[in-house]
């Protein structure tokens, strides 16, 4: 199993239009079939010093294995998402973990 977590920081965090456009783009990724589960989220209202709330959106994927992850990276829907939505973020941070 591979857990692939992606965090996005908006270029214009005060723009609700950009925030919603990126969310809409993230929603298009749900139609990809290479993952077991996908969660889209924003920072929770948890407040402790060890929690980073600086990002705007996150994705968490569960992949069966590395091959499924690699297929996802090349999926035309994912490629189109990056092409269409990269203008909305100025930073992306990814954490991968495997069992």
For the stretch 37-56, pLDDT in tens is 999 999 999 999 999 999 99
CA distance 68 to 64: 6
The 10s digit of each residue's pLDDT in 48-81 is 999 999 999 999 999 999 999 999 999 999 999 9
Q: Which residues contact 32 (CB under 8 A, 6 or more apart)?
A: 72, 75, 77, 78
- Rounded (10°) angle between helices 76-85 and 66-74: 60
Cβ atoms 10, 19 nearer than 8 A: yes
- Tokens at 63, concatenated: 């992949």
Query: What are the residue ranges spanned by the domains of the chain?
Result: 2-44+54-98
Answer whether CATH 3.30.70.100 is correct for domain 2-44+54-98. Answer: yes
Whole-prediction pTM value? 0.93
């Amino acid at each position: 199993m591979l857990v692939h977590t992606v965090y996005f920081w908006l270029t214009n965090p005060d723009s609700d239009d950009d925030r919603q456009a990126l969310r809409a783009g993230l929603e298009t990724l749900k139609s990809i079939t290479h993952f077991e589960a996908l969660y889209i989220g924003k920072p929770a209202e948890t407040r402790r010093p060890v929690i980073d709330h600086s990002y705007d959106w996150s994705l968490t994927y569960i992949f069966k294995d590395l091959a499924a992850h690699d297929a996802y990276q090349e999926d035309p829907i994912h490629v189109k998402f990056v092409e269409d939505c990269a203008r909305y973020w100025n930073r992306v941070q990814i954490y991968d973990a495997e069992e």
